[in-house]
Structures are given as structure tokens and as C-alpha cells.
Structure 1
Amino acid sequence: MAAGRAWRRPCAEAMAGSGVWLRARARLRRFPAALAACGDQAAAYGRCVALAAGGAAELRRDSCLREFQALRECFARAAKATPT
């Protein structure tokens, strides 16, 4: 471990007042439903990444940008539509 202070988790009392953990858990509970609504876009992005990373060529940034943006937009719509 590096010299100096070790990382410590914030105490629950310090975080409880703002409801951070409740909001984070609520978002995580909605995640599977939102992801399931975007299966086609996720599959297209996965295929693109697999094709771009295969072979001798290395994966380049933005090589699957169009597919990623479609997945991101679908996920944002699904997350907004999913009840809390």
C-alpha cells in the first residue's frame, strides 16, 4: 500500500442525510428493465465492437460510434420511461 492515508469508506451518517444511497439503489433497480428494452441496439453495438476488434487491426476510438449513440439514446429513453 502506498505511503500516506489509506482510503476509507465514508461513514453512513455523513451520506444518509442527502439520500445518496437510496437514489443510487433506485437507479440500479431500473437498470435491467432499461437494458432489456434496448436488446437490438446492444447486440448491434456488440457485433460492431467484435468485428472491429477482430483480426490484426486494433480497435479504434469511434469505430462504432453510430451504434454506440443508438444504444445510448435507446437506453436514455428506456430509463426515463421506466417507473421509479
Structure 2
Amino acid sequence: MSGPNVWSRSREKLRQFPEVFAQCAGEAAAYGKCVTATTKGRQELHKDLCVKEFEALKTCFTNAAKKRAK
């Protein structure tokens, strides 16, 4: 998994991230609100508390990245 192509592909994906993220602003905000609401004070974030919001964000990122790749 080493070689110049690995780093080139990774760099390209990172360059595309702001555009992909902008397309998922609503989902990102919903996930952030859920995380904030479930970690009031000194509470820790526990697995699966915001799974619905995370899955929506993940789906949005995947779809936006696929559209961008075409």
C-alpha cells in the first residue's frame, strides 16, 4: 500500500473534502447538535447515542463524494 499513487489519491480526496462537506451541512449540524446534547457537562459520548444522525451524515458524504467523482 505504499508508493506515490497512494499519497496522490489521499491528497486529492482531502482537497475535495470542503466541497463534499458543504453539501452535507444540514446533516453535519444535526449530528453536532446530537453530540452536544448527549455530552452535557462531563458526560462522555457513548457509542450509538447519535447513530441515526451519524448514518445520515455518512450517507450524505458517500453520495456527495460519488457525485463529485463523476
Instruction: Specify the TM-score bucket, using the shorter chain as the normaliser.
Output: 0.7 to 0.9
Matched, 1:82 2:68: yes
Give the structure with the larger helix fraction: 2
With the length of structure 2 as denominator, give the TM-score of the two structures: 0.86
Matched, 1:23 2:14: no
User: How many residues are paired up?
Assistant: 69
Which 5+ residue runs of structure 1 have no aligned equivalent? 1-13
**Matches of 1:54 and 1:48 in 2, distance apart?**
11
Q: Let me know the Cα RMSD of the aligned residues.
A: 1.8
Which 5+ residue runs of structure 2 have no aligned equivalent? none
Aligned counterpart in structure 1 of residue 55 of structure 2, from 46, 56, 69: 69
The residue correspondences of 1:34-45 to structure 2 (distance < 5 A) are 34-45=20-31
**How many percent identity over aligned positions?**
45
* Aligned structure 1 segments of 4 or more residues deviating by more than 2 angstroms: 55-59
Larger Rg: 1
